Amino acid sequence: MAIRWTRLIVTACLLWTAALARAALPETGWWYSAAEGGRGWSIEVQKDPRTGEDMMYLAGYMYNDDGTPTWYVSGPTPMQDDANYSGYLRTYGGGITLTGPARPATMTSGDAGRIKINFPSATSATMTLHTGKVISLTRYILAEQGDFKFDPPAMPVPLPSYTPPTPAVTLQNGWWYNAAEGGRGWSIEVQKDPNTGKDMMYLAGYMYNDSGAPTWYVSGPTPMKNTTAYEGYLRVYGNGITLTGGQRNAALLDPAAGSISIDFSSPSTATMVTQTGKVIPLTRYILAEQGDFRFDPPPTGGDPDPAPPPPPPKLLYGGLEWVIDMTRGRWYPEIPGFETSQACSNRGLGWRLPTFNEAAALYDSGAYKGFGWGASDGFMIWTSTPGPTSSDYRMIVAYNNGFKGEFPMTAGGMYTGCVRPATAKAAPVAKATPTKSGSIPANILRDLLKNPWGRL
């Protein structure tokens, strides 16, 4: 009988211990996969005082297909239990830049992807994307990431000034924001370096660039100046992994895109100063005050994580992958050709303007049909080939009417077509013959001038 009671007591203790272990919610702060350099996740759980539910809010910092930085957020959404979360990823656009005035952001997608996260412990997790991809996550230990001390790089930006605070405070890790700057936030974490005893800060700011596209900056890990003051450079990365893509190593694009100082006046209030002298009051982001983005299944009751739609087909021809830049290339009057070329090179990953021979061969092949090329009147693209008349001209190809000739670089109305190798070696192309050497034929010119942006 004594042995039986002993077994029951041991079993009860084990179950009680397991329950305690499961009750440990995920730690607030930075998470990452060591196999995915350049991508990270900021996770915070707060208890809703009204409902008692554990609400999670997270953001993922990564990159678009063209290598530009972007971010996604999910929540605030109640956790399913202490160890599981399921939610939608959302995207936003049009909001405030790093140093610009406030402008409202708008949601661009309420379902950019769906994620499930299982937390077997407070410092480890397994994330499953809507594509079925599984990502192992662990807590981001700042002391293991190097020390981005606040030393001027080769081309320093102006350093902001700050006023050292008086009493010491213990700031709260997690999400910070300014209520007057909707759509922008800061994820801040401080960890003590066990080797030096210094308080190391790492932060990221998610916001928007001048065109309204989402972008992000990081600062640190950098030692705090004291217990309540921080200053550091904001860095920009690019060309890394996308949400669902394979591993691509991110590259540091700008080590000093800006500089900031932060003065923490209390555990939940702070004042940030940017390199331009702009002062930004910050407070902690209280999830219970931000609404509830619950993870509801579709109305049909079907699979809440359906397979994603197949990616759009790529335009491949002549050993090249072709894209049309619809955002930069629409109707920019007086845009020089070399700036158009930058629209391709800025995409990174080997993108460039096509040559005249390449663009003409694509038109002659008809392979562009069905991809939106030539779908509108006056659909012409620049090429990198100079015109025979003057160095101020570039050769163009009009996919709506077949014109192949030169055009002045100061003219508007051109789209930007970009190419990059689709195979190990691009196929050779024949030399193209212009429709007419020199100016555009009168009948085509009349068609072009029907567009209000057409201009010579």
What pLDDT score was predicted for residue 13? 52
Task: Share the mean pLDDT of the chain.
Answer: 76
Range from 19-28, 51-60, 443-452 that averages highest in pLDDT: 51-60
What pLDDT score was predicted for residue 450? 43
Give the pLDDT confidence of 407-422 residue by residue, as tens digits. Answer: 777 665 567 788 888 7
**Mean pLDDT value of segment 132-158:** 64
What pLDDT score was predicted for residue 356? 92
Residues belonging to the chain: 456
Give the pLDDT confidence of 76-135 residue by residue, as tens digits. Answer: 888 888 899 998 899 999 999 998 888 888 888 888 888 999 999 988 999 999 889 999
pLDDT of residue 207 exceeding 90, the answer is: yes
Position 169 confidence tier, pLDDT thresholds 50, 70, 90: low
Position 302 confidence tier, pLDDT thresholds 50, 70, 90: very low
What pLDDT score was predicted for residue 238? 92
- Amino acid residing at 383: T
Position 18 confidence tier, pLDDT thresholds 50, 70, 90: very low
pLDDT of residue 358 exceeding 80, the answer is: yes
Give the pLDDT confidence of 212-228 residue by residue, as tens digits. Answer: 999 999 998 888 888 88
What pLDDT score was predicted for residue 248? 87
Position 323 confidence tier, pLDDT thresholds 50, 70, 90: confident
pLDDT of residue 352 exceeding 80, the answer is: yes
pLDDT of residue 153 exceeding 50, the answer is: no
What pLDDT score was predicted for residue 355? 92
pLDDT of residue 442 exceeding 80, the answer is: no
For the chain, the structural domain boundaries read 26-306, 315-449
pLDDT of residue 285 exceeding 80, the answer is: yes
What pLDDT score was predicted for residue 340? 61
pLDDT of residue 448 exceeding 70, the answer is: no
CATH of domain 315-449: 3.10.100
